[in-house]
Amino acid sequence: MPWDVKYVADTHTVVISGSGRLSSQDAPRLVEQAALLMDRNGATRFLCDYSDAVGEATTLGIHDLPEFQEKVGTPKSVKIALVLPRTGHKVEDFLFYETVSWNRGYNCKAFKSREDAEKWLEQSQTALERSS
């Protein structure tokens, strides 16, 4: 199954999902599509469901991805939830991305289940709505 990027209006969330290989070349393309959808729809959440992913990105590619997010307009106010691969394959790479994202000013958190990721995004959104 190819990777898909879509906007879910009910939750104001841009979702990346799919399965299979996820390379250093794939990730920026997906992030760029997500940034366009965030901008177009005013999305406040970003869910990256990698539960069926086989991560093949390089360490340098992972390190540079948050900087690329900035360049394509991903706002720092967006909450980013990552769902880790169920197989445990290269989970450390996804956790490295979480750390690098934090270092670049993004609120990014990794989860073992999509349900937990969605709960966190909902809690974050509720807090943002109260502060507006």
- Mention every residue, 6+ apart, whose C-beta is less than 8 A from residue 65: 27, 28, 31, 57, 97, 100, 101
Residue 87 forms part of a structural domain = yes
Number of domains in the chain: 1
Q: What is the pTM of this model?
A: 0.88
Output Rg (C-alpha) for the chain, integer angstroms. 13
User: Would residue 85 count as lying in a domain?
Assistant: yes
Q: Which residues contact 4 (CB under 8 A, 6 or more apart)?
A: 15, 16, 17, 18
Q: What is the pLDDT of residues 82-125, one digit of tens each?
A: 999 999 888 999 999 999 999 999 999 999 999 999 999 999 55
pLDDT in tens, 12-52: 999 999 888 888 888 899 999 999 999 999 998 999 999 99
Helix (H, G, I), strand (E, B) or coil at 43: coil
Within a domain: 23: yes
CATH of the domain at 123: 3.30.750.24
Q: How many CA atoms lie within 13 A of 58 on its CB side?
A: 5
Q: Has residue 131 got a pLDDT over 60?
A: no
Residue 122 forms part of a structural domain: yes
Q: In terms of residue numbers, what domain contains 39?
A: 4-127
Sequential DSSP letters for 62-103: HHHHHHHHHHTT--TTSEEEEEPPTT-TTHHHHHHHHHHHHH
Q: For residue 81, tell me if it sits in a domain.
A: yes
What integer is the mean pLDDT of 59-70?
A: 93
Domain-embedded: residue 132: no
